[in-house]
Amino acid sequence: MRAARPISLALVLALAAPLAACAGQPGAQAWAALVCTTLSPWRAEIDSLTTRTQQQMTAGTTPGQAKENLARLFAGAATASEKARAGVEKAGVPDVTNGEAIADGFLTSLAGIRDAYGHARSGIEALATSPADGFYGEVGKVVQQLTADYQQSSLDTTSLESVELRQAFDSLPECR
């Protein structure tokens, strides 16, 4: 058996140090960067889905087509929201005062948004497509409920009790 070369040992030690540092709680800047990097594509996806939903509400499609498209859009939003929630969960707990409560607030908010889209998808799938006028009226009610549920789940980052996190969110380009 050959002895390990000194260069190999140095490489292992060089790689192990950053990994060990990752095991602890991230500081405010690191955590905010991770969260914003996770939420940026989610926001873009939600914006896109919202625009497509609005287009679907005014498009000249049959109720069956609208039902299928809206259910798919809401399912996509629920999936995107869960992916964002999982990414924030992966970021861990920031090493700041009330870090656990703050991280939990983000996770709870994203779970609520995911659930709001899931309920909207279920609501759309449960609708009868005939008569058409009745269908579109009921779609409006589902979308109103989605809006209410979404707003109820939103997290206002200005109410964070961590000065360090507030400064990090305000200063990082990933968060703009």
Contact criterion met (CB below 8 Å) for 38 and 84 = yes
Residue 10 pLDDT > 60? no
Q: What is the pLDDT of residue 159?
A: 62
Task: Report the pLDDT averaged over residues 64-79.
Answer: 92
Terminal alpha carbon distance of the chain: 55
Give the whole-angstrom CA distance, residue 168 versus residue 164.
6
The mean pLDDT of the chain is 83
Q: What is the pLDDT of residue 92?
A: 95
pLDDT tens per residue, range 12-48: 323 333 333 445 799 999 999 999 999 999 999 888 9
Among candidate residues 65, 50, 56, the one with its CA nearest the CA of residue 146: 50
Can you give the pTM of this predicted structure?
Answer: 0.79
Task: Report the pLDDT averaged over residues 104-117.
Answer: 94
| Banded model confidence at residue 7, pLDDT cuts 50, 70, 90 | very low
pLDDT tens per residue, range 147-176: 999 888 887 666 667 889 989 989 999 888
Task: Report the pLDDT averaged over residues 134-141.
Answer: 91
Q: What is the pLDDT of residue 138?
A: 94
Distances (CA, A) of 105 to 70, 109, 131, 165: 29, 6, 42, 13
